[in-house]
Amino acid sequence: MDTDVLVMGGLTILMAVFAFTKGKDLPLRGFQTGFGLLQEVWLPLLFGFCLAGLFEVLVPRELLVKWMGEESGVRGILIGWLVGLLMPGGPYVVFPLTASLLRDGIGVGPLLTFITAKLLLSPIRLFTWEVPFLGWAFVMARTVPSLLLPPIVGLIGQRLYALFPKL
């Protein structure tokens, strides 16, 4: 069994026991809330996994490894940065796709850069949510310095990743 599943299962049991000590009905209410969330997100998750799978079978692995593999260096970081800035889709697409690419041998640095750029600098979120609610001055003050962060995260993160044991 996967370590992540064991950890999440253990945390769920611990939280359920803790909730029970606060009120006998709380674990059931918590599980009902969780299943309600699952009902809301299962379809986008399904499509995200399907898109990641289709990407995996349509784009030649050798091409991806050449341009974004562990040996791609700064070029891979820059490609990850650009793709993260331009790619549409939310976390339902980004995380399954990233997991698929990591499994296929794409470098950790380019993938960290990609995720960071996507989550910090999504143009769709910027124009749909940030500008209307916060205004251009605030958005520019947040976005301009954030442009520099994804490559930094990729470069530092790939070195840190090598230090962590594979759980």
Tell me the per-residue pLDDT of 111-135, one tens digit each, with 9 for 90 and over: 999 999 999 998 878 888 899 899 9
| Alpha-carbon distance values, 67 to 39, 56, 126, 146 (Å) | 38, 15, 28, 24
- Count of CB atoms situated within 10 Å of the CB of 152: 13
pLDDT value at residue 96: 87
Mean pLDDT of the 25-42 span: 91
pLDDT tens digit string along 68-121?
988 898 999 999 999 898 887 778 788 988 998 898 889 999 999 999 999 999
CA distance 156 to 7: 27
Place of tokens 């040996």: 71
Name the band, by pLDDT with cuts 50, 70 and 90, for residue 52: confident
Inter-axis angle of helices 91-103 and 108-121, nearest 10:
170
- How much is the pLDDT for 36? 92
Q: Is the pLDDT of residue 154 over 70?
A: yes
Per the rule left: phi > 0, alpha: psi between -120 and 50, beta: everything else, 103 is alpha
pLDDT at residue 1 in the model: 65
Q: What percent of the chain has pLDDT over 90?
A: 51
What pTM does this model have?
0.71
Residue type, 155: L
Query: Cβ(120)–Cβ(133) under 8 Å?
Result: no
pLDDT of the residue at 18: 96
Q: Which among 138, 125, 132, 49 is positioned nearest to 87, based on CA atoms?
A: 125
Residue 99, CA distances (Å) to 14, 70, 111 in order:
28, 15, 9
Alpha helix ranges (H) inside 104-146: 108-121, 123-125, 131-146
Q: Would you call 77 exposed, middle or buried from its count of C-beta atoms within 10 A (0-12, 13-18, 19+)?
A: buried
More confident residue, 7 or 149: 149
